Amino acid sequence: MNKIIDGKLLQQDFKKELQKKVDGIKDKLKLVVIQVDNNLSSDIYVKTKVKLCQEMGILFEYKKFDYILEDELILEIEKLNNDLSVTGILVELPLPEYINQNRVIEAISFYKDVDGLTSYNVGRLSNGIDGIIPCTALSIINILDKINMNLSGINVVIVGKSRLVGMPLIKLLLDKSATVISCNSKTKNLKKLTSLADVLIVAIGEKEFIDDTYIKKGAVVIDVGVNVINNKIYGDCNFEKMIEKCSYITPPVGGVGPLTNVMVINNLICLYNLQNNDLK
């Protein structure tokens, strides 16, 4: 059995399905990505989004600012909200500390909120109403589905409670009747909790923090971490040490990332449909 979850292969399948939808849309879809500051992980995410958009015939605009005042950034977003040629807006997180992240996210029209981070979309997810779901969380649910993981009644431990990954996953996994344990940097006895996991999801941003001593035999490990050190990418999990003990694992490169990118396109299509059904 192949234990390594091949995110690139999964991406190809989803991409084919989504390409048909893109080709069936009479207008050109357009994604605008905003990045402030130099974050090496964000640079990688942006590059892969550019490539995917090019391959799929989607227009892409990249607005990168080394420095921008919060009010100016919000004005930029408001312009994009009102630009009919723009289908979706994605702000790469984290933003630098001098910018109020919440204010920036809330400035994105929920009709253009590709990453599903506005209160409107978070509220819809929380209340079980269809909306835009954060791409990384969506990709993890799809990975678990593709390996035929029946989540009902099993223990899923999530390490990291960010709004992009951990928080939306809690709700998505509860909806599938999993028993969910959420951990963060203040969690006591982390190993004791992660050892209960049938599925362990790690999104903390610390190079190879989790190793084989954190899991029970046969656990499924989803490593979300992207840590760029000296131009090399490391996960939050120590892949080499864990592969023997787990039943499935995502590799640090070609794991969760490729599917997350394809979910951006999925959400862009959803936004197009929303804009055209609701606004016209």
Tell me the residue type at 202.
V
Distance CA 37, CA 68 (A): 9
Residues contacting 91, CB < 8 A, separation 6+: 33, 34, 35, 77, 104, 105, 108, 115
Which residue's CB is nearer to ligand NAP, number 26 or number 186? 186
Check residue 164 for interaction with ligand NAP (CB under 6 A). yes
CB 136 within 8 A of CB 243: no
Tell me the residue type at 155.
N
Radius of gyration of the chain (CA): 19
Helix, strand, coil percentages for the chain (3-state, nearest 5): 45, 15, 40
Which residue's CB is nearer to ligand NAP, number 109 or number 136? 136
Check residue 157 for interaction with ligand NAP (CB under 6 A). no
- Angle (deg, nearest 10), helices 135-146 and 166-175: 40
Which residue's CB is nearer to ligand NAP, number 126 or number 187? 187
Check residue 200 for interaction with ligand NAP (CB under 6 A). no
Which residue's CB is nearer to ligand NAP, number 43 or number 206? 206
Part in contact with ligand NAP (CB under 6 A); list of ranges 141-149, 168-176, 201-209, 238-246: 201-209
Least distance (Å) between residue 243 CB and ligand NAP: 18
Part in contact with ligand NAP (CB under 6 A); list of ranges 15-23, 61-69, 76-84, 160-168: 160-168
Least distance (Å) between residue 205 CB and ligand NAP: 3
Binding positions for ligand NAP, 235-264, rule CB under 6 A: 256-257, 260
Distance from first CA to last CA of the chain, Å, rounded?
A: 50
Least distance (Å) between residue 274 CB and ligand NAP: 23
One residue of 29, 133, 224, 242 binding ligand NAP per CB under 6 A: 224
- Supply the DSSP symbol for 147: T
Number of residues that bind ligand NAP (CB under 6 A): 27
Distance CA 150, CA 220 (A): 12
Query: Pairing between strand 232-234 and 227-229?
Result: antiparallel
Check residue 96 for interaction with ligand NAP (CB under 6 A). no
Least distance (Å) between residue 144 CB and ligand NAP: 15
One residue of 184, 213, 273, 276 binding ligand NAP per CB under 6 A: 184
Strands across the sheet containing 88-91: 59-65, 30-36, 88-91
Binding positions for ligand NAP, 1-60, rule CB under 6 A: 41
Which residues sit at the interface with ligand NAP, rule CB under 6 A?
41, 136, 159-162, 164-166, 183-187, 190, 203-206, 209, 224-227, 256-257, 260
